[in-house]
Chains A and B, each alone.
Chain A
C-alpha cells in the first residue's frame, strides 16, 4: 500500500511539474512571435466569421485579415493592441460589426463556455493581460485547464524555424476561403429568434476599449457590416444603428450589408463564400477610401 501511494504521489507531482514547465516554456516561446507586417499592409481587419470569410487579403492587398470565427471583442482587443504596437504603418482598423454578435447569448457561447475557453484562451493567451484574464476569475479551474492547453504544435513549429515564427503560426485569425454555396439550405433551416435579447456588456466594454485604443494610437477605427443576404430581414439593422449611436457615436461606420451579390456568392445567410469574398475584396480595394471620403469627408 505504502509503495503504491508513494509511487502515485511522486508520479502525480512529476506530471504536474512537467505540465507547468511545458506550459511556461510554450508561453515564453509564443509570446516571442513577430507581429511585424510588410510595409504595404496598413489596414487591419478583425472580428468574427463574417469578416473572416468576406475579406480576401490577397486581393485587398493593403489589408491584413486576422478575423476569426466566434471571436469576441475580448480577444480582438488583444490582437489589435499587439499589431498596433509592432506596426507603425497601420493607420486603419476595420472591425466587423453585426448585431447578432452583440447580444448577451454571445457571452456564454463565445467567452465562458468551456469549449470556447478551451479553444480561444490558448491561442490568445500571449496577447492577453491580467485585466483580460480577470474576466475568468469565477472559472479558475477551467482557466487553468485552458492555459495548460497551449498550442504545442505551434511551439514545435516555432522551434523548427529557430524561434523566428510570426503571428501566422499562432492561428489567431486569417482569411478563410469558404467553398460552400448553401444559402438556400440555410434559409430553409433558419430558426426565428424570438423575443428581445439583452446586450452583452463584455462585447460593449471591449468594443469601447478598442475605440479608445485606436484613438490613443492614432489609428482610424471603422466599424463595418459585411455583406448579408437580405439585411432588412436578417440583419437587425435598426437595432445595430441604435446600438452604435448609443455606445460608439464617434466611430466611423461603413454599412456594406446590402452590397449587391449573386446568391452563388454566399456561403449562407451571413457569410460570403470565396466567390463573394473575391468580388467584395476587389470592391474594398478599389473603393473603400472613396466611400469613406464620401460619407465622412476627407480621410
Chain B
C-alpha cells in the first residue's frame, strides 16, 4: 500500500477512527490495533512477506529475553557475557542470513561465477527467482539494533510481545523508515496514547508537505529522469545534466517526502518518530551532507559498525579503513548492484580527506543562521557539495557501471551548451521547492511554522499546497527506497 494511493487514503481514516474511538481501553488495545493495521498494510503487497517479517520480529524479541535470562544465570561466572553474546550473534546471523538470501543471493552467486571466469574457469551459478520483500532492510536493521542494545545493556528487554511487534512493524515507518531505535520508540508503546490536538495537526501538516514533495516534485522529476536515463545515449549533454540534477531532487523529495508522511502519520497516532532528513542540499561539505541525509541509517552505521570498529580513533590507516567499511556497507545496503558499492566508495573518497584534515565536523550548525542569504563562501560550498553529490547520484541511478560511464561521457558532449528539451516543468517545481526549503531550513520540516502571523493566511497557504498536489502531481511512482 503506497502512501500516495487511494488504498491508503481509505485505510488511514479507518485505522484512525478505530484507534481513537474504539480502542479506548488502554495501551494493549491500541497496540493490538497498531499491529493488526501494520500487518494489513504490509500484507497488501504480498501476504507471504508477513511470515518472514514475523520470524524476524519473533526471533529478535525472544533473543532479548533469552539474553537477559542467561546473563542472570551467568552473573557469577568468570565470563558472564559469553553466552549472552552468543545469543546476540545468533540472532544477528539469522537476520542477516534472511536479508542476505533475499537481497544478495543472486548478486553474490553471479559475482562468484564471474570471479572464476577471470581465472579461465566456467561456473554456472544457480540463480533463483527471488522476490525481494518490501522494506526488508529497514525492519531487519531496526530489529538488530534492539538485539544489540539489549546486549549492551542500554535497554531492558521487553516481555510485552505485542508492544515489540508494534515497535518493529508500526506501519508508518515499516517499509522505508526512519529506522527507529528501541530506546526511542518501544517505550512509547508501553503506555496509553492520548489524543493531542497540537501533535495531530502538526502531523497532518507534515503529511501535507511530504505529499507535496513526493507527488509534485519527485513524481514530476521522475517523468523526465526516467526518460533521460532510458535514452541517455540519444539525448544531448544539457539534457543529461538536467537529468542528473533532477534525479538529485527526485530521490531527495521521494525519500524525505516518505519520511515526512511517515513521521506525520505516526504523530496522528500519538507516536513520535525521529527526524530522517535535515535539509541536506544546504550542506557546505560532504561531511555535513552525511549528517543531514538519511540520518537514521547514517547513525545506525555509526553506532553499530563504525564505533565498534574503532571509529575515528587510531592511526590514519585505521580511520581510512573504517570510513570505507561504513560507506561500502551503506552502499551495499541499498541493493545488490556494483553501482551501489561504487557509489559508497565514491562518497568514502570524498569524506576521507575531510576526516584526515580534521575538518569533518566543521559545519555543525545550520547554514546562514539569522541571515536571509548565505555568504559567497557558503554558497560556493553548497553548490560544490551539490555537484559532488549529484555526480554520485548518477552512479546510484545508473543500471550498471557501463551506463554510468556512458552517461558521464555524454555530459561532456558539445551539446552540453544547448537548451535542454526534457524536464523544464520539473525544474520549475524543483526551484519552487528549493526556495520553500531555504525559507524553512531552521525547522523540523520546511512548513512547520510559516512566517505568517494571521491564521487565515496560513490556511490559504496550506490550501494552495493541497491544490498543487491535486492539480500538478506526476504519475504515481513507487517510492524509490521501497526496493531497499
Contact = CB atoms under 8 A, between A and B. Distances in A.
A49 to B, nearest CB: 11
A4 B463 contact: no
Nearest to B462: A11
Contacts of A118: 473-475
A244 interface: no
A8 B204 contact: yes
Contacts of B475: 113-115, 117-119
Interface size class of A (residues with CB under 8 A): 35 or more
Contacts, number: 70
A141 interface: yes
A48 to B, nearest CB: 15
A176 B235 CA distance: 13
A185 interface: yes
Nearest to A184: B233
Nearest to B235: A180
A4 B195 CA distance: 10
A9 B288 CA distance: 41
A56 interface: no
Interface in A16-51: 16, 18-19, 22-23
Interface stretch (B33-41, B80-88, B370-378, B464-472): B464-472
B234 interface: yes
B470 A15 contact: yes
Interface stretch (A142-150, A157-165, A277-285): A142-150
B471 A179 contact: no
A19 B472 contact: no
B234 A186 contact: yes
B467 A119 contact: no
A1 interface: yes
B233 A3 contact: no
Interface string B171-189: 0000000000000000000
A150 B473 CA distance: 11
Interface in B430-463: 459, 462-463
A205 to B, nearest CB: 25
Nearest to B233: A185
A57 interface: no
Interface string A162-176: 000000000000001
A235 interface: no
Q: Pick from B201, B462, B471 the residue with the most CB of A within 10 Å.
A: B471
A115 B474 contact: yes
Contact of A4 (B6, B201, B223): B201
B484 interface: no
Interface in B225-276: 233-236
A276 interface: no
B467 A18 contact: yes
A11 B234 contact: no
Contact of B471 (A23, A188, A189): A23
Contacts of B201: 4, 7
Nearest to B16: A5
Contacts of B418: 179
Contacts of B20: 1
Interface of A is mostly: helix
Contacts of A81: none
Contacts of B195: 1, 4
A28 to B, nearest CB: 15
Nearest to A118: B475
A26 to B, nearest CB: 9
Interface in B179-218: 195, 197, 200-201, 204
Contact of B197 (A3, A14, A182, A186): A3
Contact of A11 (B197, B415, B459): B459
A99 interface: no
Contact of B476 (A114, A153, A182): A114
A277 to B, nearest CB: 15
A243 interface: no
B297 to A, nearest CB: 30
Contacts of B415: 179-180
Contacts of A188: 233
Contact of A182 (B204, B233, B472): B233
A152 B234 contact: no
A268 B235 CA distance: 10
A23 B470 CA distance: 10
A267 interface: yes
B384 to A, nearest CB: 29
Nearest to B459: A11
Nearest to B6: A141
Nearest to B204: A8
A152 B197 CA distance: 36
Contacts of B421: 176
A148 B474 CA distance: 11
Contact of B466 (A3, A15, A180, A268): A15
A19 B6 contact: no
B73 to A, nearest CB: 49
A75 to B, nearest CB: 17
A11 B459 CA distance: 8
B475 to A, nearest CB: 4
A92 B436 CA distance: 51
Contacts of B223: 115, 119
A186 B470 contact: no
Given A114-B475, A145-B473, A179 B236 contact: yes
A119 B235 CA distance: 20
Contacts of A113: 475
B462 A148 contact: no
Contacts of B470: 15-16, 19, 148
Contact of A186 (B6, B233, B459, B476): B233
B8 to A, nearest CB: 13
Q: Pick from B6, B236, B474, B475 the residue with the most CB of A within 10 Å.
A: B475
Contacts of A15: 463, 466-467, 470
B463 A182 contact: no
Contacts of B473: 118, 145, 149
Interface of A: 1, 3-4, 7-8, 11, 14-16, 18-19, 22-23, 113-115, 117-119, 141, 145, 148-150, 152-153, 176, 179-180, 182, 185-186, 188-189, 267-268
26 contacts: A1-B20, A4-B195, A4-B204, A15-B466, A15-B470, A16-B470, A18-B463, A19-B470, A19-B471, A22-B471, A113-B475, A117-B475, A118-B474, A141-B6, A148-B470, A149-B471, A149-B473, A150-B471, A152-B471, A179-B236, A180-B234, A182-B233, A185-B233, A186-B234, A267-B234, A268-B234
Given A18-B467, A180-B235, 4 more contacts: A19-B471, A113-B475, A145-B473, A180-B415
